[in-house]
Amino acid sequence: MSSSRSAAAADPKSRPVRGTEHSWCKAVPGGTGITALALLLFKPPDFPLLQNALNKLQFSHPILRSKLHFTPASASFSFITPATPQLQIQTFDLESTSKVLRTVDPSPSVSPFHSILEHELNKNPWQNPDPSSDADLFFASVYTLQDETWVLAFRLHTSACDRTAIVALRRELLGLMVGAAGVEKESIGDGEVSLGIEDYIPRGQGNKPFWARGFDMLGYSLNSFRFSNLSFKDTVSPRGSCVIRLRLNEEETTGIMSKCKDREIKLCGLLSAAALMACHSINNVPDDQWEKYAVTTLIDCRSILDPVLSSDHIGFYHSAILNSHDVKGGENLWELAKRVYMSFMDTKNSKKHFTDMADLNFLMCKAIENPGLTASGSLRTAVLSVFEDPIIDDSSKLDDAVGLKDSIGCGSIHGVGPSIAIFDTIRDGKLDCSFVYPFPLHSKEQMREFVDEMKRYFLEDGFRGSGRV
């Protein structure tokens, strides 16, 4: 055992959660903020090797072996980090996996792999914070499918693992499973959990005068009553997060990305524009009627923090920017994409991803506490959330070595959040988007129509056409 691991073998260490982490701790009990990663394997996992790899991951990244402690008196949370990993893989044989699959969507159009991902998104060990029992932040399961494939699934509390972190975790785990050189890291901070994002904001960039904070908070609150939504189908029944995918081939993806580059916009602008046009269309709004939609864009801040953090620094280091956009029928896809993207960039250049961080966290918590402040008590804070940059995932020898056939990583949103959260990946040159939505607030038929509309805009207007609807 290395010296850093020996040093970690002391009493459990702890630190209070910070502002953004606290907002996730408030959101997760209601169903938003469960990060899930599902890997479809065509080779059976080597369980001793997998368990050893997970233990190494937890040593390298103390947040992964931490527990979440709730203090009722102050309604506060803290991370408690024990000296040694305690994660145990939960295994499901063919019979027990079949029982799990019978509890989720039995539709033949949904693969067992897809159903298991949704099952993991809706398992919530953090639903009822218990002051007498600290909650794990990291869970691992292996499911056995009938066609001699297996699903390796991870479930994490989003305060401990954002989208960038889940990609790093996946890459590092696969490296450990095949014994790749250079993937095992020493413990960070002598076994202590790293600081929250607020502690890494460059000096002066998060400052905002008191009067300006109050003015912005009022603006966010009043504007929220003017936002249009994707029409709600069932606002009463219990909710869960469902997933639907949109995939383009390599030629289509290359064409779209080339046009984004020519117009000096990122993919997030095009995704947002197509999604807003699809919302306007399937809501059957007259073409000449303008609707105001809110879009939340998530920014991975690791490269702009002080000090700069690497992409494999596990934790939650994203910030959000909320913009509103007026949309009507007959929009030009590329013109709207440019408008959406420039609005986002103007806001980002004004440092609002730092200055408004506390405001948006506060409003998120207020929505959780007072659902009636949102349309139909739906807890919808925006129609859409999208990431500034896609994940780039190219197949490697590691994938072949462990038998990786497919993978999806995303987060749940059926508590507070947007109507649609887009998790976009360019995998082997092909766009693969996972759309997460709250069901039955939005129906499966509605979301299939939405995704079909988006794909039509991509192919008819973005890839081949001029962009005029």
Closest CA to 134 of 273, 276, 17, 240: 17
- Which CATH architecture group holds 199-464? 2-Layer Sandwich (3.30)
Give the CA distances from residue 219 to residues 100, 213, 284, 345, 363, in Å, rounded to whole numbers and listed in that order: 46, 10, 29, 19, 11
Q: How far apart are CA 149 and CA 162, in angstroms?
A: 27
Q: How far apart are CA 100 and CA 80, in angstroms?
A: 31
Domain 3-194 carries which CATH code? 3.30.559.10
Condensed to tens digits (0 to 9), the pLDDT of residues 144-183 reads 999 899 999 999 999 999 999 999 999 999 999 887 544 4
> What local confidence, expressed as pLDDT, does residue 71 receive?
93
| Structure tokens given for 111 | 């693969």
> What local confidence, expressed as pLDDT, does residue 465 receive?
52
Where in the chain are the domains? 3-194, 199-464
> What local confidence, expressed as pLDDT, does residue 150 receive?
97
Can you give the pTM of this predicted structure? Answer: 0.93
What are the residue ranges in the chain where pLDDT is below 50? Answer: 1-9, 181-183, 186-189, 466-469
* Residue whose tokens read 């909320």: 322
For 381, half-sphere exposure in the C-beta direction (CA atoms, 13 angstrom radius) is 27
Q: How far apart are CA 155 and CA 157, in angstroms?
A: 7
> What local confidence, expressed as pLDDT, does residue 219 receive?
66
Tell me if 3-194 shares its fold with 199-464: yes
Q: How far apart are CA 208 and CA 342, in angstroms?
A: 23
**Measured at the alpha carbon of residue 268, what is the angle toward residues 249 and 333, in degrees to the nearest 5?**
80
- DSSP state string for 187-246: PGGGGPPPPPGGGGSPTTTT---HHHHHHHHHHHHHHHTT---PPPS-SSS--EEEEEEE
